Each structure stands twice: as C-alpha cells, then as structure tokens.
C-alpha cells in the first residue's frame, strides 16, 4: 500500500493535499475493518488509485480516500467529523463525504424485496435510481461510489449469503444502469459480471464453462483476420490508428443468449472487432471498404455517430461475413455452387464467419470507455434548453475533443484544477422532488417540502383522511415535519379521526389539498345548522345533501366525458362511477368493476385496488376504454 500512496502523491498536482488527507484517513480508519478483516484504508487507496488512472483532479482523489470515514459513525458524532474535514480540507470535500454517506438509504427497499422474495418492478427500480441520483447531488459522488462498489465486489465472498445477494441486486438494479447512462462502459461491464456471479451463481458457472471454447475459437480467428484486414486497408489507402477486439461481458452475453433461445450460434459479438480511425470522415470510408470486401448483414448496420445513443455513445456498427470464401464471392460475384466448380473450394462442414465490427475515432473510444455523461438528460426527461447552465460542458466536450473531458488543467500556481466537466455539473434533475419509502419498501415520490400528510394521501386517500400519527425513521414526528430523501415513513390511522383545516397550511400536494378542503367544508360544500336542531335531523339532512351532490357530480362527469366517452364492453352511454382511489382521467388505460349493487366503477389498470379485485373476482371485471 505504501507504494500505491506514494504513486498517488507523486502523480498529484497537489501532493500536500493528498499526503494530508491520507494521514487523516489512516487515523480515522485505524479501528475500522471490512468483513475480510482488512483495514478500510487499503480499500480507500485502491479506489483512489483507480480514479487516478482516469486522471481525475486532486480533490476527487482526496474525497476517494475519505469516502468511508462516516461509515458506522453515530449521528451525534457525524456533525463533529464533518466539521473537522471541512476545517482541514475545505467545504467541497466535506460536502462530498457527507453526501456519499447517505447513499446506503437506497438499500432499504432492496433488503425488503430480498427478505419477502418479491419481484422487483421496473417502476420501483427506476424510482430507486432517481433517489440514488437525488441523494448524490454531484457526479463525483456517483463516480467514487461506483468505483468503491467495483472494488467491494471483489471481497463480497466474505459477507453472509443474504448480504451477497443484497449487494449484487443493488449493483444490477441501480449501479449498472447509472454507470451505463453515464457512459462508463468499463466500470459497467465489471460491475455487472461480478454481480451476475453472486446473484445467479449456477447460470454464471454454466455460461463461463460453455463460452470458454467459443471465446478461444473466436480469439484465434480474429488474430489471423486482423493482419489480413490491415493489408486491405493499406491497399485501399485508408488510414487507421489501431485494430483490436473486446470480449462481451458475461451478463450482456447471458441476456442476449436468453433472447436467442440459448443458441450460441446466433450471438455474433462475443468478441467484437474495434477499428480506431483518425477522424470521423475516415470512419465512413472504413465502413465502405469493409462492405466492398465483405458481405454485410443489412439489418445490423447502425450509425451511432449520426444518431448517438442516449448515454452519448458514438460509433459505427456493422456485422459482416468475414470468411475468405465470402471475400471471393463478393469480389467475383460468384454463388457458392459456381465457386465450388471453378475454384475447387469445398464448403463441406465450413461455416461463414460472422464478425461484428465497431468503427470509431480515438475521442469516441475514450468516451465509450470512461464516460461523458452527455445525452442521459434526455432519458431523465430534462430539458437541455431550460437547464442550459447545468449542461454548459456538453458542447465543449464535443467541440474540443473527448480527451479533454478527463484531463487535468494546469493553472498559474502550478496546481491542476478540477476539470469543468466534474466541477460545474451538479445533479439538479430532482431538486423539486423528494423520494420516501413506505415500511414495505415502496417508493413514494412527492414534491419538495412535502409532509407526512402528503405522504399518507399519496399512499391512499383513506389513509390520508384518517391520518393520526407519523413515524419517520422510527421516530414520532409532527404531521407538518418536512420529509427528506430516503426517509422511511409509517402512518398510523384512526377511523374516528378526520382531516383538520390546519393541515391546509403545510400540505404541498394538490391531492391532499383538494381532499382536505372537501372534508372540512373549506370548498364551500359544508352545511351549517342552528344549534337547536337535533343531531339525528342534521345527519339526515347531510345524507340527503351528499346524495344530491353525488348525483350532480355524476351528471357533470358524464357531460365532461362527452368529448372522450367511456365504452364498457364496446357500449357507450352507460352510467359509470369514477374510483376515488385512483381518479382515472381521459386517456388513461382503464378497466371497470361491477359492484354488488350492480353499479360500475372505473379504475386505472395500474390501480392496486383494481388489481386485487381482478384477481379475486375476475368475472366482475368489464373491459373499458376512453374514445
């Protein structure tokens, strides 16, 4: 380890910072050991070394050395530790250390899923990724966490089996998709293969055993094919920087082979050729030369330079028949029978070699391996025009060249500065939202500054109506308590409890506001009685009034729906009640349920109540649609 830290100090543009941080970290970690028995400082140095190879700035390397300092520190001592880091190394580093310590909150939902052996839905996984990003708040936090996880997976065998599965599931569901969106291909491949081996050990072992021969055969073939290819490019006077190949990750291979009915012969990119070009124009010339000499599979030609992938990936992809016989076919326009007759070639037992080829510039190659984080904003629904300041780095990356993305800059005082890419880009996609958990691990997404009452109404209107008590993180909190990302919220209800007008002063969601207004009479619907009228008469009048309002509301709904009518089993004009639990709107995918009173209630198909009714009483479910 001493050699590694000396290399970090020697390579750094701010050696005093790295040396000081290492001394602080070594002291902070002195009594901390990982499950393997190894002291935390060894892990921290390995993470910092991996980031140093990516040529990142001293502040990020320093943060990597400190990233586990707050682990297992009591809440009472955390603030003191953060202040100490800020005093010694600055506000920026202390804030990064504080943020990375909150990311473990995401694990709660996954641990519940593993414990209850429940399937993990796509929507829940996506909300967890958003929570992960919201908690991070800074790309450097994500990069250090991904690198830390990559190193940690190498020691996963020391953890209990249930913990192994939890970390592996978290890696595949959250870390891998995030790494992919950031364009960190090398990190993504290593993460998904390690997680695959722990989450599905039998399948991983089977694939590794069955793919070994395929890899060796393909590698042997490509080693012979590359020199031939270089001769063709030399003859065509096309300049290339390099030709190499890369193996497809085991996880990606397994997912692809499942799609192709476990048939290895239909997987053409176990080993893919990568041709590195001098410039973009030359990429297209290389593609033309390949198609001149080798027959392509037209369905597998993709231009990701003209239309990059969502994570910014750029390259030309093609799949070719690369056997020598195929070259002759293309050059001379012969069919197989003619070739056999005139050239004496035999096709007996011989298969055409199919090879996937990726063509890219050096800039594109570095982006693909180490990430640019560009274009993923589209996936998250972020408007680049509105969020222009946050994405100022995107255009310079494209115009100045990818190598500058993760290169350090020399300043006047001799200290290499943080690249603009990492310094200016904060994750502010979800600053107006807060992500909380139910006790069962479901993710509830709410507006910023929401309270337990907003949370209760988001779970179900009945829970909101009778909300009496809220626990946040196991502690009783007032109903106006402001929720934060990762909070676990538990609501206690009392059927005798009704909404209070006071709630309107602090609730944030429109659902909570409208419900409270309605039930407290703040919407003008409440009736006021003289004190002399007996209670039973009051109740009767209220019942009649409510029945009248209900009929009037139904008529209004029918009028509103004339522009978009509801069809039940293909018939229109039938009276339909809107389910209060999910409030279906025109355009929603809907279904109807026939109640015991023979009235029809319209639900959204995604409504949990409707799903339960459909399972229990499938004969009472009616096909419905908006038209």
Which residue ranges make up each domain of the chain? 2-193, 202-370, 376-423, 433-520, 527-556, 561-626
User: How far is CA 262 from each of CA 91, 192, 204, 211, rounded to the nearest angstrom?
Assistant: 53, 20, 14, 12
Q: Please give the pLDDT value at position 498.
A: 87
The C-alpha atoms of residue 51 and residue 53 are separated, in whole angstroms, by 5
Q: Please give the pLDDT value at position 94.
A: 93
Q: Please give the pLDDT value at position 470.
A: 92
List the one residue out of 246, 301, 254, 248 whose CA is nearest residue 275: 246
The C-alpha atoms of residue 10 and residue 8 are separated, in whole angstroms, by 6
Q: Please give the pLDDT value at position 398.
A: 31
Q: Please give the pLDDT value at position 528.
A: 53
Q: Can you say whether residue 262 is alpha, beta or left, with left for phi > 0 and alpha for psi between -120 and 50 degrees?
A: left
Query: Is CATH 1.10.3210.10 what the domain over 2-193 is classified as, yes or no?
Result: yes
User: Domain 433-520 falls in which CATH fold?
Assistant: Ubiquitin-like (UB roll) (3.10.20)
Q: Please give the pLDDT value at position 440.
A: 87
List the one residue out of 378, 387, 248, 362 whose CA is nearest residue 308: 378
* Terminal Cα distance for the chain, rounded: 69
The C-alpha atoms of residue 595 and residue 602 are separated, in whole angstroms, by 11
Q: Among all chains, which residue has been given the structure tokens 């799609």?
A: 259
Q: Please give the pLDDT value at position 331.
A: 46
Q: Among all chains, which residue has been given the structure tokens 């904003």?
A: 377
Q: Please give the pLDDT value at position 453.
A: 95
Q: Please give the pLDDT value at position 363.
A: 83
Q: Please give the pLDDT value at position 153.
A: 92
Mean pLDDT by 10 residues, the chain (627 residues): 83 91 92 90 93 84 93 85 93 92 84 70 80 86 92 91 87 88 83 92 88 79 89 92 86 84 73 90 94 88 89 87 54 41 35 82 80 38 37 30 34 44 59 89 91 94 91 90 93 89 91 88 56 61 70 60 66 77 85 79 89 85 82
Q: Please give the pLDDT value at position 138.
A: 85
Sheet with 621-626, edge to edge strand ranges = 571-572, 566-568, 621-626, 590-594, 600-604, 577-578
Q: For the domain bounded by 202-370, which CATH number is listed?
A: 3.30.460.10
Q: Report which DSSP code applies to 323.
A: S
Q: What is the pTM of this model?
A: 0.65
């Amino acid at each position: 380890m001493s050699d590694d830290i000396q290399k970090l100090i020697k390579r750094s543009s701010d050696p005093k910072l790295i040396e000081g941080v290492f001394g602080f970290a070594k002291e902070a970690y002195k009594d901390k050991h990982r499950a393997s028995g190894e002291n935390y400082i060894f892990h921290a140095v390995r993470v910092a070394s991996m980031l140093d190879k990516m040529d990142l700035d001293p502040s990020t390397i320093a943060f990597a050395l400190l990233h586990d300092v707050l682990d297992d520190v009591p809440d009472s001592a955390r603030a003191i530790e953060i202040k100490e880091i800020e005093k010694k190394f600055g506000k920026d580093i202390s804030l990064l250390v504080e943020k990375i310590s909150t990311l473990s909150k995401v694990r709660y939902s996954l641990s519940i899923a593993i414990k209850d052996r429940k399937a993990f839905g796509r929507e829940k996984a996506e909300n967890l990724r958003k929570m992960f990003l919201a908690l991070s708040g800074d790309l450097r936090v994500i990069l250090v966490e991904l690198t830390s996880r990559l190193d940690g997976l190498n020691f996963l065998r020391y953890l209990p089996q249930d913990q192994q599965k939890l970390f592996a599931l978290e890696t595949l569901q959250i870390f891998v998709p995030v790494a992919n969106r950031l364009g960190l291909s090398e990190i993504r491949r290593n993460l998904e293969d390690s997680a695959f081996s722990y989450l599905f050990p039998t399948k991983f072992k089977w694939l590794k055993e069955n793919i070994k021969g395929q890899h060796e055969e393909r590698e042997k073939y490509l080693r012979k094919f590359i020199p031939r290819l270089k001769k063709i490019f030399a003859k065509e006077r096309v300049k290339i920087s390099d030709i190499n190949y890369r193996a497809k990750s085991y996880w990606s291979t397994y997912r692809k082979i499942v799609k192709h009915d476990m048939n290895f012969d239909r997987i053409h990119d176990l080993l893919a050729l990568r041709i590195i070009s001098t410039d973009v124009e030359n990429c297209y010339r290389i593609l033309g030369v390949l198609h001149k000499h080798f027959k392509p599979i037209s369905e597998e030609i993709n231009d990701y330079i003209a239309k990059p992938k969502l994570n910014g990936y750029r390259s030309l992809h093609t799949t070719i028949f690369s056997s020598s016989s195929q070259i002759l076919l293309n050059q001379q326009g012969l069919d197989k029978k003619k070739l056999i007759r005139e050239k004496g070639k035999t096709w007996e037992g011989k298969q055409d070699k199919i090879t996937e080829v990726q063509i890219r510039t050096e800039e594109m190659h570095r982006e693909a391996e180490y990430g640019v984080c560009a274009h993923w904003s589209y996936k998250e629904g972020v408007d680049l025009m509105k969020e222009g300041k946050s994405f100022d780095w995107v255009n310079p990356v494209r115009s100045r060249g990818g190598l500058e993305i993760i290169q350090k800059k020399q300043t006047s005082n001799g200290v290499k500065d943080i690249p603009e890419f990492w310094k200016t880009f904060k994750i502010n996609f979800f600053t107006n939202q807060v992500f909380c958990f139910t006790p069962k691990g479901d993710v509830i997404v709410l507006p910023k500054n929401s309270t337990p009452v907003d949370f209760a109404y988001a779970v179900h209107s009945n829970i909101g109506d009778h909300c009496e008590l809220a626990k946040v993180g196991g502690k009783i909190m007032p109903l106006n308590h402001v929720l934060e990302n990762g909070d676990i919220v538990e609501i206690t209800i009392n059927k005798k409890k009704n909404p209070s007008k006071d709630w309107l002063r602090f609730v944030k969601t429109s659902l909570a506001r409208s419900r409270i207004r309605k039930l407290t009479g703040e919407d003008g619907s409440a009736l006021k009685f003289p004190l002399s009228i007996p209670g039973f008469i009051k109740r009767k009048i209220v019942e009649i009034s409510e029945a009248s309002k209900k009929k009037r509301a139904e008529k209004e709904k029918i009028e509103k729906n004339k522009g978009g009518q509801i069809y039940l089993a293909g018939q229109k004009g039938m009276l339909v009640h809107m389910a209060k639990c999910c409030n279906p709107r025109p355009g929603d995918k809907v279904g109807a349920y026939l109640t015991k009173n023979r009235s029809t209630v319209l639900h959204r198909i995604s409504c949990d109540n409707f799903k339960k009714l459909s399972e229990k009483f499938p004969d009472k479910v009616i096909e419905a649609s908006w038209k």
